[in-house]
Amino acid sequence: MSNPGIVPQPAVERRVVLATDRLLLRLWRAEDVAPFVALNADPAVTEFLPGPVTPEQAAQFFGTQNAMYVRHGCCYFAAELKETGDLAGFVGLKYQDFRMPFAPCHEVGWRLASRHWGHGLASEGARAVLRFGFEGLGLEEIVSFTVPDNVRSRRVMERLGMVRDPLGDFAHPALPAEHPLSRHVLYRLPRTAFGA
């Protein structure tokens, strides 16, 4: 049964874009729907996110990301474990053009199943994505952001060499201003500081 949310592009969907020691960062496939829905059903994963996703929402997300890769050369990539072939979550680089002083921009982001936390996979994948952004796409700056209480992700940002820009903190435009997850802190990494 085909999944209407994913545009059939076999050559695109099967593409592995980046590889690290433990991860394959690739485009999304229809068979990723079930594991992606499962990892987003974990309250620990969605603590700082709007909530779980349905299979239809997952398929729509996959289609959007694959199309974004075709258009911009980057997206939130499916993060597959080399050793097992399991979907661990995503790590990637997303073009953002919402109305914020720091946008348009490219944002490095990740979301992994909680059983994979604490093993350095987010940092490993994000470093590969940063290198890809700076060296492959020629970007001058990459940002990241999250809610203030998401200490785990903020630590990853800091391990990557990103620096908080308090003047850039903002209310996320995808959420109502009064939403408890609306407020976000901004981290930046210029090309000149990457790997320093």
> What is the CATH number for 138?
3.40.630.30
Total domain count for the chain?
Answer: 1
Please state, in angstroms and as integers, the Cα–Cα distance from residue 75 to each residue in 16, 138, 178, following that order.
12, 15, 29
Nearest to 173, CA basis, from 106, 110, 94, 98? 98
Residue scoring higher pLDDT (99 or 56): 56
- Structure token digits, residue 144: 């990241």
Asked whether residue 4 is assigned to any structural domain, the reply reads: no
In the chain, where does DSSP find H-type helix?
Answer: 10-13, 33-40, 55-72, 121-131, 151-159
The domain in which residue 158 lies consists of 10-193
Examine the pLDDT at 56 and tell me if it is beyond 50.
Answer: yes
Mean residue pLDDT of the chain comes to: 92
Nearest to 180, CA basis, from 11, 46, 85, 57? 46
Asked whether residue 3 is assigned to any structural domain, the reply reads: no
Residue percentage of the chain with pLDDT more than 90: 88
Asked whether residue 1 is assigned to any structural domain, the reply reads: no
Asked whether residue 126 is assigned to any structural domain, the reply reads: yes
Examine the pLDDT at 39 and tell me if it is beyond 60.
Answer: yes
Examine the pLDDT at 80 and tell me if it is beyond 70.
Answer: yes
Asked whether residue 111 is assigned to any structural domain, the reply reads: yes
The Cα angle at residue 45 between residues 173 and 182, in degrees rounded to 5: 20
